[in-house]
């Protein structure tokens, strides 16, 4: 007997043996058990996820001689003939080869006849999106109201190309890509039954290369068995797939963490000498960074049989999470832009150098931090000496006493046993006293320096919408606790309670004490807004006068009849 490839030999023949499509299996199983059968089904999904397999299992469930069931017997004439692909009432059509309307009409003309051997006549139309527009139109009526003995099962990898008029007449099921763990488990089961030795790491590589397709995984396994001589080994699978040895990736990350640019370039040249794909290298590097991020967050999720488990956990301890995220983003962008680089080697090395440029240097950061701390201590000591020379106010004495009492209650035990702790506490108290004294000094300076310059005060205040009110106020009088302001009659609409409250709060915060504002309507109108307007008008007039008096402009006017456009003149 001739050899049968794994993808055909191990094609699932029942819903129980189907892998990775539990959501579809559950829906179909319930529909069959409750006899709620639709006349048309549409299975969508990428290649190798089980669309045609599901269609054949559904055809067996509908035509099994034991009755309509979710568990076909697999031994009756209908089940065995469907498995062999020669059941007379199961018509499989490749839409890619029968795109024309004539082929679809011939197919549908035969649909009106009763099934010959089965309970239902089942039409499986694969890659249905390849049908022409006329062919779709020809099948619409039959698809909507088919004879009771006809069931349609459509399959496609591109549902966007299927007309909505067809989609609306079908029950649509989207088949998911296979998870890597599902593919590995299925391959382990098959290889064990085939008595073929394998290494778990090799199956990880095959599952990764299959990219969610079980058929691709089985085809790659067939190829690996042939390549390795009835064994599936990691090294041989890597050589077969042209995959990058994970050790190179770990060495790249170690060089990045060590800020060793020469090692990075040397390893990139070594990869170039082996003719490895740099685009695939960036992809594998991004996958490795993802695994490290997962290991950082959930270490227990790293599989025990993963060959790189120890190395992953070690790197998860070495790399900072923010640095890891940065590397991942650079790897993704480098892979996206590698086609724009002068060549793949340049694109790959530039991505590595970009990672190197943004890798934080722990030694430099530590030295910079120490330098900043030293500078801050020196500044504190200098400022403290200046404050000592000034008279100490009662408020400052009270603040110092409170700070010392707090520090004593918190660190009393440390003071008793460590002179260093006592020195640190003294410095902390000094810093707090300095900060509060600076704030007090600033507040007193603000009060003493206010000389009635309302416009200057408005410029220094942090105001939002209340700035409009402040700029249209004129200072009438002021003293230590209150300020009287007048608002022109034309701007009295700005005297909103909300604006008044915000302006009062800003002034009180500025002087560090409660200042009462009194508003009246009237005054001379000499407000900051009017002053600013007058200054702008004066500057504009000066600019226009300078342009008019310019000799070159006068020459243009006299010689060419030019004219000055006032709106185009802006003061500098």
What pLDDT shows up at residue 42? 93
Query: What secondary structure does DSSP assign to 174-242, as a single string?
Result: EPPPPPHHHHHHHHHHHHHHTT-EE-HHHHHHHHHHHTT-HHHHHHHHHHHHHHHTSEE-HHHHHHHHT
Average pLDDT of the segment spanning 499-518: 86
Contact 278, 348 (CB under 8 A): yes
Higher pLDDT, 241 or 193: 193
- Enter the tokens of residue 249: 């990736």
pLDDT band at 372 (very low <50, low <70, confident <90, very high): low
According to DSSP, the residues that pair with 43 across neighbouring strands are: 155, 173
Higher pLDDT, 438 or 557: 557
Higher pLDDT, 161 or 372: 161
The class of domain 180-241 in CATH terms is mainly alpha
Average pLDDT of the segment spanning 52-59: 92
Instruction: Give the strand pairing for 474-478 and 482-487.
Output: antiparallel
- Highest-confidence segment of 159-168, 463-472, 558-567: 159-168
Q: Is 382 exposed, middle or buried (0-12, 13-18, 19+ CB in 10 A)?
A: exposed
Angle subtended by helix axes 278-297 and 309-318, to nearest 10: 70
Q: How many CA atoms lie within 13 A of 151 on its CB side?
A: 22
pLDDT band at 567 (very low <50, low <70, confident <90, very high): confident
Which residue in 143, 170, 146 sits closest to 159, CA to CA? Answer: 170
Query: How far is residue 154's CA from residue 92's CA, in Å, rounded to a whole number?
Result: 10
Whole-structure pTM over 0.85, yes or no? no
Average pLDDT of the segment spanning 304-315: 74
Percentage of the chain lying above the pLDDT 70 cut: 82
* Look-up of token digits 């407000």: 527
Query: What length does the chain have?
Result: 572
Angle subtended by helix axes 133-144 and 101-109, to nearest 10: 20
Which residue in 70, 79, 72 sits closest to 26, CA to CA? Answer: 70
What pLDDT shows up at residue 508? 85
| In CATH, 450-526 is 3.30.300.150 | yes
Instruction: Give the strand pairing for 516-521 and 90-94.
Output: unpaired
Neighbours of 349 (CB within 10 A): 21
Query: How far is residue 384's CA from residue 378's CA, in Å, rounded to a whole number?
Result: 10
Query: How far is residue 203's CA from residue 558's CA, in Å, rounded to a whole number?
Result: 90
What pLDDT shows up at residue 440? 43
Reported as a single tens digit per residue, the pLDDT across 152-162 is 999 999 889 88
Query: How far is residue 218's CA from residue 211's CA, in Å, rounded to a whole number?
Result: 12
Among 64-68, 101-105, 549-553, 565-569, where is mean pLDDT lowest? Answer: 101-105
pLDDT at 496 over 80: yes
Query: How far is residue 266's CA from residue 427's CA, in Å, rounded to a whole number?
Result: 51
pLDDT at 462 over 90: no
Query: How far is residue 250's CA from residue 256's CA, in Å, rounded to a whole number?
Result: 10
Instruction: Show contacts of 238-241: CB within 8 Å, 24+ apart.
Output: 238/205, 241/205, 241/206, 241/209
CATH superfamily of 6-174: P-loop containing nucleotide triphosphate hydrolases (3.40.50.300)
What pLDDT shows up at residue 499? 83
Q: Is 410 exposed, middle or buried (0-12, 13-18, 19+ CB in 10 A)?
A: exposed
Higher pLDDT, 283 or 426: 283
- Enter the tokens of residue 45: 């999904």
Average pLDDT of the segment spanning 410-419: 43
434: alpha, beta or left? (left if phi > 0; alpha if psi -120 to 50): alpha
Q: Is 187 exposed, middle or buried (0-12, 13-18, 19+ CB in 10 A)?
A: buried
Which residue in 110, 107, 113, 112 sits closest to 136, CA to CA? Answer: 107
Among 31-35, 275-279, 471-475, where is mean pLDDT lowest? Answer: 275-279
Which residue in 266, 261, 282 sits closest to 341, CA to CA? Answer: 282
Neighbours of 557 (CB within 10 A): 13
Neighbours of 350 (CB within 10 A): 16
* Helices assigned H by DSSP within 418-477: 419-449, 454-460, 467-471
- SS percent in the chain: helix, strand, coil, step 5: 65, 10, 30
pLDDT at 501 over 60: yes
pLDDT at 286 over 80: yes
Among 239-243, 337-341, 434-438, 514-518, where is mean pLDDT lowest? Answer: 434-438
* Helices assigned H by DSSP within 211-343: 214-228, 234-241, 246-257, 261-273, 278-297, 309-318, 321-337
Q: What is the mean pLDDT of the chain?
A: 80
- Domain extents for the chain? 6-174, 180-241, 246-360, 363-447, 450-526, 531-568
- Distances in Å between the Cα of 185 and the Cα atoms of 182, 240, 426 are 5, 21, 65
Average pLDDT of the segment spanning 170-195: 90
What pLDDT shows up at residue 411? 44
Reported as a single tens digit per residue, the pLDDT across 242-278 is 655 567 788 888 888 888 888 889 988 988 887 778 8
Query: How far is residue 388's CA from residue 425's CA, in Å, rounded to a whole number?
Result: 18
Q: Which fold has domain 246-360?
A: Zinc Finger, Delta Prime; domain 3 (1.20.272)
């Amino acid at each position: 007997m001739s050899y049968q490839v794994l993808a055909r030999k191990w094609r699932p023949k029942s819903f129980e043996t189907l892998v990775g499509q539990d959501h579809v299996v559950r829906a179909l199983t319930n529909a069959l058990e409750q006899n709620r059968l639709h006349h048309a089904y549409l299975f969508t999904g990428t290649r190798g996820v089980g669309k045609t397999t599901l269609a054949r299992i559904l055809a067996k469930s509908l035509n099994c001689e034991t009755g309509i069931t979710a568990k076909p017997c697999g031994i009756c004439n209908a089940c065995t003939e469907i498995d062999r692909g020669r059941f007379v009432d199961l018509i499989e059509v490749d839409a890619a080869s029968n795109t024309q309307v004539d082929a679809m009409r011939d197919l549908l003309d035969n649909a009106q006849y009763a099934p010959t051997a089965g309970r239902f006549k089942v039409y499986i139309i694969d890659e249905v999106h390849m049908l022409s527009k006329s062919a779709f139109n020809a099948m619409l009526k039959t698809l909507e109201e088919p004879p009771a003995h006809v069931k349609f099962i459509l399959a496609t990898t591109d549902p966007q190309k299927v007309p909505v008029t067809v989609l609306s007449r079908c029950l649509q099921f989207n088949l998911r890509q296979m998870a890597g763990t599902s593919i590995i488990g299925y391959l382990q089961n098959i290889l064990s039954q085939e008595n073929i030795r394998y290494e778990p790491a090799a199956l990880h590589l095959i599952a990764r290369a299959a990219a969610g397709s079980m058929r691709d995984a089985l085809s790659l396994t067939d190829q690996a068995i042939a390549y390795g001589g009835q064994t599936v080994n990691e090294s041989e699978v890597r050589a077969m797939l042209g995959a990058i040895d994970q050790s190179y990736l770990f060495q790249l990350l170690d060089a990045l963490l060590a800020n060793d640019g020469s090692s990075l370039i040397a390893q990139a040249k070594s990869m170039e000498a082996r003719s490895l794909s740099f685009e695939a290298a960036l992809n594998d590097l991004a996958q490795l960074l993802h695994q490290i991020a997962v290991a950082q967050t959930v270490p227990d999720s790293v599989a025990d049989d993963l060959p790189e488990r120890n190395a992953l956990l070690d790197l998860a301890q070495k790399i900072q999470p923010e640095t890891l995220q940065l590397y991942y983003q650079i790897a993704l962008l480098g892979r996206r832009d590698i086609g724009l680089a002068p060549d793949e080697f340049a694109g790959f090395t530039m991505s590595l150098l970009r990672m190197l440029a943004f890798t934080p240097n722990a030694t430099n950061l530590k030295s910079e931090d120490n330098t900043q701390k030293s500078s801050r201590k020196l500044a504190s000591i200098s400022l403290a000496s200046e404050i000592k020379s000034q008279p100490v106010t009662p408020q400052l004495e009270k603040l110092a006493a409170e700070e010392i009492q707090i520090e004593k209650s918190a660190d009393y035990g440390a003071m008793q046993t460590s002179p260093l702790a006592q020195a640190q506490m003294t410095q902390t108290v000094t810093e707090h006293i300095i900060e509060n004294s600076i704030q007090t000094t600033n507040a007193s300076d603000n009060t003493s320096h206010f000389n009635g310059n309302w416009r200057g005060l408005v410029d220094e205040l942090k105001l939002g919408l209340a700035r409009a009110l402040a700029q249209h106020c004129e200072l009438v009088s002021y003293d230590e606790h209150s300020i009287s302001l007048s608002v022109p009659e034309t701007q009295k609409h700005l005297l909103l309670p909300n604006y008044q409250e915000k302006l009062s709060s800003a002034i009180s915060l500025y002087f560090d004490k409660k200042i009462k504002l009194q508003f009246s309507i009237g005054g001379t109108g000499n407000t900051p807004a009017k002053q600013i307007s007058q200054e702008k008008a004066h500057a504009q007039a000066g600019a226009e006068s300078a342009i008019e008096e310019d000799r070159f402009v006068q020459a243009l006017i006299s010689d060419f009849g030019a004219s000055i456009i006032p709106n185009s003149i802006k003061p500098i």
